[in-house]
């Protein structure tokens, strides 16, 4: 076993987070946790995970759930399309059975490369190279000496991760340990290298400990932003959906000032209508005559 792997697992045994999805072998429960953890902080996920499983405890209950019920259950997690994709995935599982390997997990609606690998490890208990932002950061820094690795570094990072991941035994602990380590020590911009137990093996630690610390380069925003709005469109779409969820029915003309205090009816009306149209296209709302919005009926 690689020396860095040994030290990382020793740290993990002492400092691992006690999370509910780590205490189950139920593939459905693990699927829901991985779905929720995409783009959402662990602290927000834990209570929603427990609530969601009470409401939809099985693949079948999720497969037969109505859109309004799913949107209500998903409130507060963001990226609402995830829960509709999850229903489609559940229908696939009900029809064809629970996936047992990475390609079949990947075939489910809404399951990308990271989630397929994670489900292969945690639900199917087969070795897979699980690579997310946290793991990319740790492997890129320790093995390759890259202070701020990006997607373009993934081929090299995956090769290094393969070296660090045991072929038998505790391979499922590697991604969990790295996620916890990234949350506690190997932070995105200011890692605590001075007290890091992997410092001696890390090829980037001396860069962070030097007088001229590396600075994370600014990257051009990829999310859609309207005019001079302080947030990307997805934040305002979430606010629109929250209003529809709370009011049951509401018109476009009533929404503007609720989602944006600086809403300008001249400059922002087309933007508002376009966001509502995208929500309708995603199946999250229905737009009736007179520009009235509501949740779908089923």
Q: Is residue 163 part of a domain?
A: no
Domain of residue 101, residue span: 26-122
Bridge partner residues of 286 (DSSP): 294
What is the predicted pLDDT for the residue at 1?
78
Name the phi and psi angles at 207, rounded to 5.
-65, -40
Residue at which a domain ends, from 71, 89, 122: 122
Alpha-carbon gap, residue 64 to 66, rounded angstroms? 7
In a domain, 48, yes or no: yes
In this structure, the number of other CB atoms found within 10 A of the CB of residue 138 comes to 26
Separation CA 298–CA 21 (nearest Å): 29
pTM of the predicted model as reported, rounded to 2 decimal places: 0.91
* Catalytic residue check, 34: yes
Residue 51 belongs to some domain of the structure: yes
CATH code for position 118? 1.10.340.30
Which residue, 103, 91, 181, is CA-closest to 142?
Answer: 181
pLDDT of residue 156: 98
Residue 212: inside a domain: no
Asked if 259 and 243 count as a contact pair (C-beta separation under 8 A), the reply is: yes
- Please compute, for residue 222, the number of CA atoms within 13 A of its CA located in the half-sphere on the CB side: 1
Give the Cα separation of 120 and 287 in Å (integer).
39
Check residue 235 and give its pLDDT. Answer: 94
End-of-domain residue from the set 122, 155, 189: 122
Residue 280 in any domain: the answer is: yes
Strand partners, 287: 293
Residue 238 in domain = yes
List the chain pLDDT tens, one digit each, 298 residues. 799 999 999 999 999 999 999 999 999 999 999 999 998 999 999 999 999 999 999 999 999 999 999 999 999 998 999 999 999 999 999 999 999 999 999 999 999 999 999 999 999 999 999 999 999 999 999 999 999 999 999 999 999 999 999 999 899 999 999 999 999 999 999 999 999 999 999 999 999 999 888 988 877 667 899 999 999 999 999 999 999 999 999 999 999 999 999 999 999 999 999 999 999 999 999 999 878 999 998 7
Q: Given the residues 18, 34, 88, 102, select the one marked as catalytic.
A: 34
Among 102, 122, 142, where does a domain finish? 122
The angle subtended at Cα 195 by Cα 39 and Cα 18, nearest 5°, is 45
Label the pairing between strands 286-287 and 249-251: unpaired
**129 domain residue, yes or no:** no
- Provide the number of structural domains found in the chain: 2
- For residue 169, tell me if it sits in a domain: no
Q: What is the pLDDT of residue 111?
A: 97
Instruction: Characterize 182-218 residue by residue with b for buried, 16 or more Cβ atoms within 10 angstroms of its Cβ, and e for exposed.
Output: beebbeeeebebeebebbebbebbebbeeeeeeeeee
| Residue pair 224/236 in contact by the 8 Å Cβ criterion | no
């Amino acid at each position: 076993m690689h020396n860095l792997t040994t030290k990382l697992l020793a740290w993990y045994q002492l400092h691992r987070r006690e999370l509910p999805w780590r205490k189950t072998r139920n593939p459905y429960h693990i699927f829901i946790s991985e779905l929720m953890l995409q783009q959402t902080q662990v602290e927000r996920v834990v209570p929603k995970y427990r609530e969601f499983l009470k409401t939809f405890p099985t693949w079948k209950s999720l497969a037969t759930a109505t859109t309004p019920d799913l949107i209500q259950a998903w409130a507060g997690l963001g990226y609402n399309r995830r829960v509709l994709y999850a229903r489609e995935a559940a229908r696939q599982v009900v029809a064809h059975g629970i996936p047992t390997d990475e390609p079949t997990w990947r075939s489910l609606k809404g399951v990308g490369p990271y989630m397929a690998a994670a489900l292969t490890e945690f639900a199917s208990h087969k070795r897979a190279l699980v690579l997310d932002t946290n793991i990319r950061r740790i492997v890129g820094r320790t093995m390759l000496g890259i202070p701020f690795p990006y997607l373009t570094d993934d081929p090299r990072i995956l090769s290094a991760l393969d070296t660090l991941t045991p072929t038998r035994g505790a391979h499922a602990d590697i991604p969990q340990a790295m996620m916890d380590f990234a949350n506690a020590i190997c932070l995105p911009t200011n890692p605590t290298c001075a007290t890091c137990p992997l410092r001696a093996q890390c090829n980037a630690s001396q860069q962070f400990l030097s007088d001229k610390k590396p600075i994370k380069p600014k990257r051009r925003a990829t999310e859609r932003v309207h005019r001079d709005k302080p947030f990307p469109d997805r934040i305002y779409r979430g606010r629109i959906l929250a209003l529809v969820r709370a009011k049951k029915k509401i018109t476009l003309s009533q929404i503007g000032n609720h989602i944006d205090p600086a809403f300008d009816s001249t400059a922002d009306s087309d933007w508002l209508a376009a966001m509502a149209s995208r929500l309708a296209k995603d199946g999250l709302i229905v737009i009736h005559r007179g520009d009235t919005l509501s949740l779908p009926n089923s």
